[in-house]
Amino acid sequence: MQAVSIDFTQESDAGLLYLIGEATDEPTEKSLARDAMREFHVRHYPYVLGRLGEFAKNMGSVVVDVERFTAITFEKAFRAAKRFKDTSHGIHELASRKVRAWMGQIATNLVRDELKRVNRKQFGIQLVPLNDDIDAAIDTDESDQDESLEPTDSRALAELKAILATLRVEEQDILITYATFGKPTATGRELPPDIRDALEERTRYERSNIRQKWRRLSQRLKAQLEPFLNT
Amino acid sequence: MPYPNTSEPDDELTPELKRALVEIGAIIPTTTEEVELAEAQYTSEPSSAKVNAAFEKVLFLLAEEAPAEGFIQLPTATASTTGCELAMAARNGGELDADTLAKIEQDVARATQNPS
């Protein structure tokens, strides 16, 4: 068997994911894939842990194990490595952001599945887990415009944090759930039925009250942040 | 560049509000633009020992046949069904029937009694 030596620190994220996704059970390929996973993990772990940790702090009415959430996000990314499409045209910074956006989509899908699981568990419903190959498709980041956004005024961010800190846990949950999973419609933002049902169970609010809460919260945030957002 | 206005006219989540929620970490970034904003905010740098330990956990999960789950739990108080109906009625502002009111009064009386 011929020894293969690759300097993984020089490899692109897409290259690492290719090695991970295409590896067979052959020992050399498995070893390469493991080294590729380690390098990928080193590059993105601090960012992913940081973002999921912040998200967890705001997910009011549930308790999130952030380290396990981060580990499962990487696990899912490695299992789905074949599905990542690199459209960065060799631009290093953009490639890294595309990978992180893709992992953000994976993490968001995991939260959705997990919230449904918690809801089912509460009612004693057991489901057989799907094989990963036939699991829900993971969206790719093809709609990106690849242009920078201006950062928000720091006073607005401080105000927003202060407001969120004053909300009750179920109000935080409603806000974050609508902002994360809601889809805009002609009559306002709507939640997919499974997400909405789970939110009703977690918060113990009725559907109409949840919607009313979301509207009031979003109006309040807009009103309080407007002076900073328009300067 | 301003945030792309992809929202419907009646979407309560304006692009500016969504952007701010991404920046403070309340929403997980899922586009390259959002990642760029988020990267400007985060400063955490875990130790290499922590990163290595975390990687070992990922390998452990990958060794399992089925994808892992179980990182979200309901708080114990919420998971219990005791008193849920009362909490729901109170939050939804519904009228309480005589039996429920009597039960609340009994509970309040018990809670405010002297321990002696």
Please state, in angstroms and rounded to a whole number, the distance separating the CA atoms of residues A49 and A69: 9
CB-based contact, A118 to chain B, within 8 Å: yes
Chain A positions in Cβ-Cβ contact with residue B37 (cut-off 8 Å): 149, 151-152
CB-based contact, A224 to chain B, within 8 Å: no
Is the pTM above the cut of 0.95?
Answer: no
Question: What phi and psi, each to the nearest 5 degrees, are found at residue A185?
Answer: -130, 175
Specify the pLDDT at position A51: 95
ipTM for this prediction: 0.85
Q: How far apart, in Å, are the Cα atoms of A7 and each of A10, A35, A66, A200, B113?
A: 6, 10, 31, 51, 73
The answer to whether A170 touches A202, Cβ cutoff 8 Å, is yes
The answer to whether B40 touches A150, Cβ cutoff 8 Å, is no
Please state, in angstroms and rounded to a whole number, the distance separating the CA atoms of residues A17 and A29: 13
Question: What phi and psi, each to the nearest 5 degrees, are found at residue B72?
Answer: -120, 135
Min CA distance, B83 vs chain A (Å)? 11
Specify the pLDDT at position B5: 54
Chain A positions in Cβ-Cβ contact with residue B57 (cut-off 8 Å): 67-68, 71
Among B5, B11, B13, B37, pick the best mutation site for testing chain A contact (most A Cβ within 10 A): B13
Residue A149 to residue B9, Cβ atoms within 8 A: no
Among A8, A61, A62, A97, pick the best mutation site for testing chain B contact (most B Cβ within 10 A): A97
Q: What is the mean pLDDT of residues B8-25?
A: 85
Please state, in angstroms and rounded to a whole number, the distance separating the CA atoms of residues A25 and A167: 51
Please state, in angstroms and rounded to a whole number, the distance separating the CA atoms of residues A44 and A34: 15
The tokens describing A52, both together, are: 């999921």
Q: How far apart, in Å, are the Cα atoms of A228 and each of A112, A152, A157, A175, B41?
A: 32, 9, 9, 20, 18
Q: How far apart, in Å, are the Cα atoms of A157 and each of A145, B18, B26, B68, B108?
A: 24, 11, 11, 34, 42
Residue B58 to residue A74, Cβ atoms within 8 A: yes
Which residue among A51, A143, A149 places its CB closest to the CB of B25? Answer: A51
The answer to whether A41 touches B51, Cβ cutoff 8 Å, is yes
Residue B20 to residue A149, Cβ atoms within 8 A: no
pLDDT in tens, chain A (231 residues): 455 677 888 889 999 999 999 999 889 999 999 999 999 999 999 999 999 999 999 887 889 999 999 999 999 999 999 999 888 887 888 889 999 999 999 999 999 999 988 887 766 555 555 544 444 445 454 444 556 677 888 899 999 999 999 999 999 999 999 999 999 988 889 999 999 999 998 888 998 899 999 999 999 999 988 888 765
Residue-wise pLDDT tens digits, B40-71: 887 778 899 999 999 999 999 999 877 777 89
Specify the pLDDT at position A219: 92
Residue-wise pLDDT tens digits, B82-112: 444 445 545 555 556 666 667 667 666 666 5
